[in-house]
Every structure is written in structure tokens, then in C-alpha cells.
Amino acid sequence: MRIGNTHFRSIWLADDPGVVRVIDQRKLPFEFELMELTSLDDACYAISDMVVRGAPLIGVTAAYGLYLAALKSQAKNWCDELKAAADKLLATRPTAVNLKYALDLGLAELNCTGTREGMIDRLFHLAMALAEEEVKRCRMIGEHGVDLITECYEKKKAPVNILTHCNAGWLACVDYGTATAPIYKAHDEGIPVHVWVDETRPRNQGARLTAYELGEHGVAHTVIVDNAGGHLMQEGMVDMVIVGSDRTTRNGDVANKIGTYLKALAARDNNIPFYVALPTSTIDMNLSHGREIEIENRDAEEVSHMPGWDDEQMKSSRVRVLPSGSDIVNPGFDVTPSRLVTKLITEKGLCPATEEAIRELF
Ligand code: MRU
């Protein structure tokens, strides 16, 4: 996707095959910095500290992390080292199932009776292929999802207002994004779209990342505080909601960034379609209900302090926003029950959020 006039992906292999480059998402939109990952520890740090984030990108980073672990492994113990590396990567973040999806693919390649060199080669090709596959899946989500926007535009004959939560854009994936893929496609085809961007406290992925992406691509958008969405829906200013997912269970329950559930409730109360765009790599067929999903509890400092850009000092800054004695709880995700989901938008097409329809996708 575009930043200025340059096409970027969120992760790529450098000319040196021992170096993986990522955009440091903690610094956007104020500073554009790349980070080089050259080891398992680098990959683990990048995921757990949210240098990279978003379900598909977490998975692809883990696949590269396993490859980097193989590259650095000792000649004798490489197989044991790789199993431990997979465990370490898996422990970085609990909710997005793409992490496990990618590591399971890597572990399926593990052949402890083969050579270390052969293993490095297989993990290299796996990471590259997974990145390409996620790009293709997101592109196809755009192809399928754009019809929903086009149909709305043809009825309305006015710009289509889409509300989105968090960042389910190309920064969360490798390219195109999930929720944003139909939006970019519609925009590129000349359909007038306007996006309501939830700021998405506490880390503000909407205000910082989605607004940045949409702006760079020239898509009309307006940032709103998280609590504004319901009011805008009541005022007839939202035509549809499109969000992403970190893990969707086989009955169609959707875990996504905290606050998604409230938007689904408001959408239902106002008869507004609520779509969830996701690649099939985000569907967890092992879980039958959303209550089985592990919800990440994140650091209290994400709530007590706000990072931002100090215009006067021209540098990033951080301020406390609540009294130091208050207790804080910070769940990172919530579960939207399948009954509130109008349709899933996957790379294989649109489908109802039901177990029967999801099984048919596979
Ligand atoms: O905590 P994050 O920033 O990794 O959470 C990301 C989200 O919740 C996205 O909406 C989700 O990964 C779907 S995006 C492809």
C-alpha cells in the first residue's frame, strides 16, 4: 500500500536473507522508522511490544521468527531449539489465532531426522509463502466485500459511510488489510466512500494507524472518539460497519479489539449491517464458542498514560491521564456473538456467521 508515492508492505525480507524488515508501528503516524529483525528474540519482542500487531501480521512475523531461529540454531540441537522457539513465539500474544496457525504450519515442516540446512530452507519458503498467501487472501476479501459497498452506493447515490474499529488495515496484515480491503477497492474503483474511524483507546490504533493509512491512500475519513459511533448510527450517518477479527470460532463468534461488541450492539439497534472481514487463517475451528477464546489482559500503563506528539517540542511524549491511585483493568479484546454479525467477508466469499456456513468454507 501507499506511503507517499512508495509502495510498502508491513513486513519484508531484506537483500540480506538474515534480515527481516518491519515498520515500527509504535511510532506511527509521527515517525516512520523501520526495525530489523535478525533473531528469534527480535521477532518475539516485535510481537509482544506491538512493533508489529494485527492478526495476520503477527502470524507472518512468527513464521519469519521461526526461520530466523533456524538460521541461528546450533548444528547439534537445532530440532529441540526450534520446538522451544515455537513455544516462545506462541507465548508472545494469546488472542490472535494467526500466531498459532503460522507456528503449526512451521512445526508441520519440522523433520528432526533431516538436515538443519534443509530445515532452514523449508522455513524460509514457508514464511515467504505465508506472507504472499495473506496478501492474496486480503486482496480477495476486497474483491468480495466491494460488492456490499457498491450495492449501497447504487441505492443511496451518495457517499457510503463505513464505520471501522481499531486498525484492520494493511498495517495489521501484510498488504490491503481485512476491513479496509473492500474500502480501498471501492475507492480505487471510483465509488465515493467515507470512513468513520474509531480512535480505539487505549492504544489508539484507529486514530494513529487507520487514519494514517486511509490518508496516505486518499480515502475520505473522519476520526471519532470511541463513544461517538452509537450516536452517529442514530443520526443515520453510518451505512455499514466493517471490522476485522483476531479469532473467530467455528460458530461465528468474533473476537476483535475491545469495543467492537458495543459497536455491534449499536448497529443491531439501528438496523445497520455489521460485517466482519477476515481471512480463513483467523478462523479457529478448534473452538466452538467465543467464551473459549483467551482474552489478552494488557498493561495498566496503556490506560493510565497516553503517548502522543508534542507539537512544541517536536518530539513524542507521554502523559498521565488518571489519578495515580486508581485501579485499572485493560482487556485487549472482546467477543461479538455471531447473532450480531450480518455476514463474514472472507477470501472465499461472503458467508453467514454460522457453524454450517463456516464449515462449508473449508
Ligand atoms: O492489539 P492489536 O492492535 O494487535 O489488535 C488488532 C485488531 O484487533 C485488529 O482489528 C484485528 O487484528 C483484525 S485485523 C486484521
pLDDT for residue 74:
83
Q: What is the mean pLDDT of residues 270-290?
A: 98
Share of the chain above pLDDT 90, in %: 96
pLDDT for residue 75:
77
The pTM for the full model equals 0.97
- Work out the pLDDT band at 4, boundaries 50, 70, 90: confident
Mean per-residue pLDDT of the chain: 97
Residue 45: name the closest of 11, 94, 13, 88 by CA. Answer: 88
- Work out the pLDDT band at 351, boundaries 50, 70, 90: very high
Q: Is 104 a catalytic residue?
A: no
CB distance 355 to 252 below 8 Å? yes
Nearest CA to ligand 1 atom 5: 54
Q: How far is the CA of 246 from the centre of ligand 1 (A)?
A: 6
For 157-190, the pLDDT digits (tens) are 999 999 999 999 999 999 999 999 999 999 999 9
Share of the chain above pLDDT 70, in %: 100
- Work out the pLDDT band at 216, boundaries 50, 70, 90: very high
Residue 60 has pLDDT above 80, yes or no: yes
Of these residues, 239, 246, 253, 334, which one is catalytic?
A: 246
**Complete domains list, the chain, with CATH:** 2-133 (1.20.120.420), 142-361 (3.40.50.10470)
For 94-140, the pLDDT digits (tens) are 999 999 999 999 999 998 899 999 999 999 999 999 999 999 999 99
Q: Which amino acid is at 167?
A: N
Protein residues with CB under 6 Å of any ligand 1 atom: 53-56, 96, 166, 168, 172-173, 178, 205, 244-246, 256-257, 332
